[in-house]
Structure 1
């Protein structure tokens, strides 16, 4: 994708990263937060924020790429190709939960979803998760293509909500996601 810009080093890179990290925190809590709240959280002036991101849309696009990069890095660091598939899947669930609800925000933000090129780019990088899920999946042949992958991300969304709204501890969320992925959530009575 032509817009991908890695975070540069030095003071300029640190400031840009501070703004993106602040945006992750602020927008995860309040998706309509003004840029002034993000600038305050980043401990920079609003004019500084605008030097890096002239418009809100510029910040949101950069944030989407930043979160995508963090997600892919976390997946790689979880070493999904190592060990038994279920243990690897658990590590990936844990690392994605650590990113928090900003992942959901990025993938549902209208600025992102209305940009076909950006959306297509963001839909890459989790192929290893799809591979892992296919190894452990018991999904019925009637399930649509990509169903396990969609369920994975939906369960992470539920996990973010449980942690934020209910204060459920991370280990319980991970256990619930793993049980849902491997056993389902509803047992039919025969």
Structure 2
């Protein structure tokens, strides 16, 4: 089904805002309109204010994350396989993921909080699975390991975006970083 011009413009605004706000959280609507190469009036036809746009792109980022992760988490045979597939699915959309790390005032919105909490719980379940399989030491706090995976996804995307890392190397490097960096402590 063809996408209308209005839908294309809305998607352009959303993608531009995600990219710009990931790097410059205090960007104004004017900055976003300029980066999208549209007029501010056009932006306002789609979003009444900055808060409306941020809520929309936060929900979009959460939905994109869920869309990328759900099949991976459901179909992987092992937690290690799930982590590998998670990195392959999430690193290419690291800008969406990185946007969620920004401290915007929409995280307490019920729909945002619910989606975010579901994703955090799924990641923690994955970490627990990695512990059961012996890939992560049992004494490593689950929340801390989940935070590392979370941060590594965005950091890997950022390194690719800057040209410091080849896209085809990224998932294996991320997996190696987590599995070797969180293994049993040996002296």
TM-score strictly above 0.5: yes
**Cα pair distance change 1:87/1:185, threshold 3 Å:** closer
Deviation at 1:112, TM superposition (A): 3.4
Q: Count how many residue pairs are aligned between Structure 1 and Structure 2.
A: 181
> CA–CA distance in 1 between the matches of 2:127 and 2:186?
26
Contact 1:179 1:185 in 2 (8 A): no
> CA–CA distance in 2 between the matches of 1:65 and 1:37?
21
> CA–CA distance in 2 between the matches of 1:143 and 1:189?
14
What is the correspondence of 1:39-78 to structure 2 with a 5 Å cutoff?
39-78=33-72
**Cα pair distance change 1:46/1:77, threshold 3 Å:** farther
Q: Using CA pairs below 8 Å that are at least 6 residues apart, which structure has the higher relative contact order? A: 2
> CA–CA distance in 2 between the matches of 1:124 and 1:70?
14
Segments of 5+ residues of structure 2 without an aligned counterpart are: none
Q: Deviations over 1:79-102 (max 9, x none)?
A: 652344323321211211111234
After superposition, the CA RMSD in angstroms is 2.9
Q: TM-score, normalised by structure 1?
A: 0.76
Q: 1:171 aligns with which of 162, 168, 173?
A: 168
Q: Deviations over 1:156-182 (max 9, x none)?
A: 233234334462112333222211222
Segments of 5+ residues of structure 1 without an aligned counterpart are: 1-8
- Pair 1:94 & 2:88 matched: yes
Contact 2:13 2:36 in 1 (8 A): yes
Q: 2:128 aligns with which of 121, 126, 134?
A: 134
Q: 2:24 aligns with which of 16, 30, 48?
A: 30
